[in-house]
Amino acid sequence: MSYTTVDLTPRIGTEVRTDLATLTSGTIARDLRVLLEKRGVLLFRGLRIADEDQIKFASTLGTIRLEHGLQITKITPDVAKSPIFADYTKGTYFFHIDGTYTDMPGLASILHARAVAPAGGQTEFGNTYAMYDDLSDEEKNYLDGLEVIHSAEKIQRLANPNPTPAQIAAWGEAVNPPKRHPMVWHHRSGRKSLILAHTIKSIIGLDQAASDALLERLMTWAERPEYIYRHDWQVGDLLIWDNTGTMHRVVPFDLSCGRELDRVTLLGEEPITGPFRYHDQSNEKTAKYLP
């Protein structure tokens, strides 16, 4: 069998209909990579794939990144099953891009739904290429000149306004140092996307009030319905998102309901690059682009 596709929304998300043997054979891997970059999210309904097949399929698309030594990690608030990620669940209720505390975020993640929430628990994805493309030229030029600071602590504090010392020890800035990035990612392909996330704690060169106001305005823009695909999970769904061209968040759900997704992440293939680093490895030219 080859495959057929059905777009889930006009701007983001495509369902791919095929069978497991085709996926794991790698015969359509090149097509899927192109489609993933173009559509942001690819969905394969009802596959109920085994762990080894999820790993095999992921390997046809890129290089699997070990997470704490594992090829597959459990994404669940059940601390017994996911001691590493359970405490981060509430932070995922806010739009973010995985790995913005590093120079090179993962290329993509592949989720397999093992158990779903009876209410809530959907995952929403936003197309950060489309958000950028639709801006006015004036706005593009302005945002192209900005750099921002991403902080894990910033997004975790949104979810946990009164953190315990143990939480600060787990995700505070002392252990997860903030990271400077451009506001706009200049991809090797020539396309540009916003690196927009609630991990941004400040915009360099703006005071905090102006920074917060600009981020709020951009987030309001980013959450326009035409940029968003909300995935309503069914057991057995396999879904890939392009982590370099989308942002995502989870709709709040009952943390005791047993929701459980298996995740495989692919290594990043290009570092985040903005207009400055694109031409010059230093950040020293930033100031002249600011208002």
- Which of 98/242 has CB closer to Fe ion? 98
Tracing tokens 């975020």 back to the chain, one arrives at 105
Residue 51 phi/psi, 5° resolution?
-55, -45
Chain positions 119 to 158 lying near Fe ion, rule: CB under 5 A, are none
Chain positions 20 to 49 lying near Fe ion, rule: CB under 5 A, are none
- Which of 98/153 has CB closer to Fe ion? 98
- Residue 2's SS3 state is coil
Minimum distance from residue 192 beta carbon to Fe ion (Å):
22
Nearest CA-CA partner of 127 in 6, 267, 221, 31: 221
Minimum distance from residue 123 beta carbon to Fe ion (Å):
9
- Which of 98/262 has CB closer to Fe ion? 98
78 vs 101: CA distance, rounded Å: 25
Using rule CB under 5 A, residue 262 touches Fe ion: no
- Which of 73/211 has CB closer to Fe ion? 73
Minimum distance from residue 132 beta carbon to Fe ion (Å):
20
Minimum distance from residue 96 beta carbon to Fe ion (Å):
6
Position of minimal CB gap to Fe ion: 98
Minimum distance from residue 265 beta carbon to Fe ion (Å):
10
Chain positions 73 to 102 lying near Fe ion, rule: CB under 5 A, are 98
- Which of 263/277 has CB closer to Fe ion? 263
Minimum distance from residue 248 beta carbon to Fe ion (Å):
6
Please tell me the total number of residues recorded for the chain in this structure. 291
Sign of CA dihedral 67, 251, 191, 203: negative
Q: DSSP assignment of 168-213, as one string?
A: HHHHSTTTS--EEEESEEE-TTS-EEE---TTEEEETTS-HHHHHH
CA distances in angstroms from 186 to 129, 145, 195, 264, 270, listed in the order given? 10, 12, 10, 26, 10
* Size of the residue set binding Fe ion (CB under 5 A): 1
Would you tell me which residues interact with Fe ion (CB under 5 A)? 98
